[in-house]
Amino acid sequence: MKKIVLFILCLIPISVSAIALPDTYSDKVLLYDLTEDKLLLEKNSDERANIASLTKIMTTITAIEEIPDLEKEVTITSDMLAGIPYDASVAGLNIGETFSARDLLYASILPSGADATQALAFTSSNGIAAFVEKMNTLAEKIGAKNTHFVNVTGLDIENHYSTASDVLLILKYALQNPTFKEIYCTKEYTLANGKTINATIKVYNRLMNLDTSRILGSKTGYTSKAGVCIAALISTNGHEVLIITMGAPYVYGNFYNLKDALALTQFLDSHFQNQNLMTTEDTIIELPVSLSKTDMYKVHPNENITKYLPKDFDNSLFDYQYNGKEKLSFRDKEQSKLGSIKYFYNGELIKEEELFLKEDLKISWKKVVKKYGYILIVILILVLYIQKRRKHNRKKRRMRK
């Protein structure tokens, strides 16, 4: 077996991608390729900050995990609504009204209802403090080490903080839950009392009239200290990408978190795509074939090798490792295993696959004669001699009779 490390180099050197984030209103930005589980670009993503209602991502996934029956009926009490400032975002839940726990989850994410998140806390933990403790425990489990929660709403309060990187970890974790993802990607929902609630981006867009169809799901936030924020799931060039922005200024009627999310979507459309690093027409290695009509057998990838990269990606960072046969013969048949191969970009494993012969290798009698002709002549002479001796011996036996 043979291990070969090969590098595909451009004839003209291309530098490592120089693509950088465009200017944004937000001072903290993170773009993450969810399809390939890879960070694309970031700005100040590890800086601690207030995160406003992005907090409700954690509130909602914690409630989903803590409430076993989401159809459980919950009656809104005064305790549930206590302490909510007059200017907080609410879903419009009233004391004495009854909702399912599932209703409260939608009311937490879509209109960013502080009344819904506090009701969820009382439903699962009989109080906000106990529920917040569960949120912090889950954050630690997820690995959000620069995050600490004090309330379930995200309203500004001392020692309540996170980072764009940690919000990413929390959102990635939450999106693995089908119930959360369904809620997060819903734009409109009708509560048990018949009231229709809308995702905040729909509310924003009534004033801005932008095309938000590319945003598959979102959670927005605003406080005076956090500015306007968004954590959005978008689709671009066949990839699902998470866009997290924090710290944009608040201007009523001109929501810069939504503007940034849409501008960054267009930026990704223009600058990133699935790049062909190697095609099925490219040759991995040529293997010599003994005594066959085929002199050299060309080994090709089973399928195109692609990766989601900037348009100015550096081809010289692509390489592969082939581990397999170093030569073949006419005895090798179609579908016999040649070996295996691993493909890398910038040291990161992209794909690995097994390689098989795609045709029978036919014997070449001309090559056989050319290589073993003298042996065949000796064998032929020996056969003729043996036949002659046998004929002579038979003749002698007949004469004796």
In a domain, 10, yes or no: no
What pLDDT, on a 0 to 100 scale, did the predictor assign at position 34?
96
Of the candidates 228, 357, 241, the one whose C-alpha atom is nearest the C-alpha of residue 294 is 357
Verify that 179 and 59 share a domain, yes or no. yes
Phi-psi map region of 227: left, alpha, beta (phi>0 left; psi -120 to 50 alpha): left
What pLDDT, on a 0 to 100 scale, did the predictor assign at position 380?
62
Judge whether residue 13 has pLDDT over 70.
Answer: no
Verify that 217 and 253 share a domain, yes or no. yes
What pLDDT, on a 0 to 100 scale, did the predictor assign at position 340?
96
Q: Which tens digits make up the pLDDT trace of 126-147?
A: 899 999 999 999 999 999 999 9
3-state secondary structure of 72: coil
Verify that 220 and 300 share a domain, yes or no. no
Judge whether 233 and 215 are in contact, CB under 8 Å. yes
Alpha-carbon distance of 76 to 224, in angstroms, equals 28
Q: Which tens digits make up the pLDDT trace of 272-301?
A: 999 999 999 999 999 999 888 888 999 999
What pLDDT, on a 0 to 100 scale, did the predictor assign at position 317?
94
Confidence of residue 366 (pLDDT cuts 50, 70, 90): confident
Verify that 227 and 373 share a domain, yes or no. no
What pLDDT, on a 0 to 100 scale, did the predictor assign at position 364?
81
Residues 6+ apart with CB under 8 A from 241: 31, 32, 33, 34, 35, 40, 233, 234, 235, 268
In a domain, 231, yes or no: yes
Q: Which tens digits make up the pLDDT trace of 93-120?
A: 999 999 999 999 999 999 999 999 999 9
3-state secondary structure of 170: helix
Q: Which tens digits make up the pLDDT trace of 209-243?
A: 999 999 999 999 999 999 999 999 999 999 999 99
Q: Which tens digits make up the pLDDT trace of 32-74?
A: 999 999 999 999 999 999 999 999 999 999 999 999 999 999 9
Confidence of residue 367 (pLDDT cuts 50, 70, 90): confident
Judge whether 319 and 305 are in contact, CB under 8 Å. no
Verify that 182 and 53 share a domain, yes or no. yes
In a domain, 149, yes or no: yes
Verify that 347 and 372 share a domain, yes or no. no
Helices (H) and strands (E) in the chain, counts: 10, 18
What pLDDT, on a 0 to 100 scale, did the predictor assign at position 9?
34
* 202, amino acid identity: K
Q: Which tens digits make up the pLDDT trace of 79-94?
A: 999 999 988 999 999 9
* C-alpha distances in Å from residue 360, one per residue of 282, 294, 356: 21, 10, 11
In the chain, the percentage of residues whose pLDDT exceeds 90 is 77
Judge whether residue 388 has pLDDT over 80.
Answer: no
CATH number for the domain harbouring residue 240: 3.40.710.10
Number of domains in the chain: 3
Judge whether 299 and 283 are in contact, CB under 8 Å. yes
In a domain, 11, yes or no: no
**Domain enclosing residue 294, as ranges:** 279-356
Judge whether residue 3 has pLDDT over 90.
Answer: no
In a domain, 47, yes or no: yes
Lowest mean pLDDT among 127-131, 187-191, 332-336, 378-382: 378-382
Alpha-carbon distance of 62 to 356, in angstroms, equals 49
| Choice between 191 and 12, residue whose per-residue pLDDT is larger | 191
What pLDDT, on a 0 to 100 scale, did the predictor assign at position 200?
94
Judge whether residue 207 has pLDDT over 90.
Answer: no
In a domain, 380, yes or no: yes
Judge whether residue 10 has pLDDT over 60.
Answer: no
Verify that 64 and 159 share a domain, yes or no. yes
In a domain, 8, yes or no: no
What pLDDT, on a 0 to 100 scale, did the predictor assign at position 376?
59
Tokens matching residue 183: 């809620």
Verify that 335 and 384 share a domain, yes or no. no
SS3 content of the chain, % helix, strand, coil (to 5): 35, 30, 35
What pLDDT, on a 0 to 100 scale, did the predictor assign at position 398?
66
Alpha-carbon distance of 205 to 302, in angstroms, equals 46
CATH number for the domain harbouring residue 311: 2.60.410.10
User: What integer is the mean pLDDT of 350-378?
Assistant: 80
Residues 6+ apart with CB under 8 A from 356: 334, 335, 336, 337, 338
Given 221, 247, 272, the domain boundary residue is: 272
Given 241, 272, 303, the domain boundary residue is: 272
Judge whether 119 and 130 are in contact, CB under 8 Å. no
What pLDDT, on a 0 to 100 scale, did the predictor assign at position 8?
38
Alpha-carbon distance of 375 to 385, in angstroms, equals 15
Given 234, 257, 272, the domain boundary residue is: 272
- Mean pLDDT (the chain) is 90
Verify that 130 and 255 share a domain, yes or no. yes
Verify that 191 and 330 share a domain, yes or no. no
What pLDDT, on a 0 to 100 scale, did the predictor assign at position 5?
47
Alpha-carbon distance of 198 to 203, in angstroms, equals 7
Verify that 107 and 240 share a domain, yes or no. yes
Alpha-carbon distance of 279 to 65, in angstroms, equals 45
Judge whether residue 384 has pLDDT over 70.
Answer: no
Judge whether 259 and 205 are in contact, CB under 8 Å. no
Verify that 183 and 220 share a domain, yes or no. yes
Tokens matching residue 312: 């100015």
In a domain, 143, yes or no: yes
